[in-house]
Amino acid sequence: MNLAIIYTSVTGNTKELAAILGGFIKGFGVDVQMFSIEEFPLRQLGQYDAVVIGTYTWGNGEIPEEMLPLYWAFENQETETIVTGVFGTGDQFYPHFCGAVDKFRDMLYVQSELAVTLKIELTPQLQDLKRCRKFAEIVVSRLRQNCPAGMDKIS
């Protein structure tokens, strides 16, 4: 089973959240490859069993520009069997809190096996950890349903 976390972050909030979620996913026994969006080879999207996307929100509830090629890749490549999750940080001050998460969610629901979404206010806090762990648990459990051959053996 191979899982990629692909994130974008300007001031560090979403990167921090990506690291927390990556840690929980690893804790559930799944290898995680972590990429900033600039590092991720879009042509290899279809090689992943699971892709977890992390994004902040820009403008008026918009997806940041650097994430659009990834959004289009899901629309244009064969991604229907990829298990996905989308998380983001945002600011409740804005009318469309984490609007980019909602936009990715609507697309991923159609183009992939969307398992779960998560929205966090700015920097992740201690009280957010329970939701972060739950997000990781749901992604891993959906991945194991989809890839039974790749399941870890519990002795």
Ligand X SMILES: Cc1cc2nc3c(=O)[nH]c(=O)nc-3n(C[C@H](O)[C@H](O)[C@H](O)COP(=O)(O)O)c2cc1C
> In the complex, which residues of this chain contact ligand X (CB under 6 A)?
9-15, 56-61, 89-91, 94, 96-99, 122
In angstroms, give the least distance from the CB of 84 to ligand X.
19
Distance (Å, whole) CA 19 – CA 21: 6
Q: How many residues does the chain have?
A: 155
Measured from the CB atom, the residue of 123 and 145 that comes closer to ligand X is 123
Quickly list DSSP for 52-109: EEEEE-BTTTBPPGGGHHHHHHHHHS--TT-EEEEEEEE-TTSSSTTHHHHHHHHHHH
- Min separation Cβ 100 and ligand X, Å: 8
Q: Whose Cβ is closer to ligand X: residue 60's or residue 125's?
A: 60
Q: Is 150 helix (H, G, I), strand (E, B) or coil?
A: helix
Q: What does the alpha-carbon distance between residue 53 and residue 34 come to, in Å, rounded to a whole number?
A: 10
| Residue 91: CB minimum distance to ligand X, A | 4
The token pair that represents 55 in the structure block: 């994004």
Residue 123 per-residue DSSP state? S
Contact, 107 vs 139, CB < 8 A?
A: no
Is the Cβ of residue 89 or residue 111 nearer to ligand X in the bound state? 89
Bridge partners, 114 (sequence order)? 84
Q: Which residue is nearest to ligand X (CB)?
A: 90
CB of 99 to ligand X, least distance (A): 5
With respect to ligand X, which residue has the nearer C-beta, 98 or 116? 98
Min CB(16)–ligand X separation in Å:
8
Residue with smaller CB distance to ligand X, 122 or 138: 122
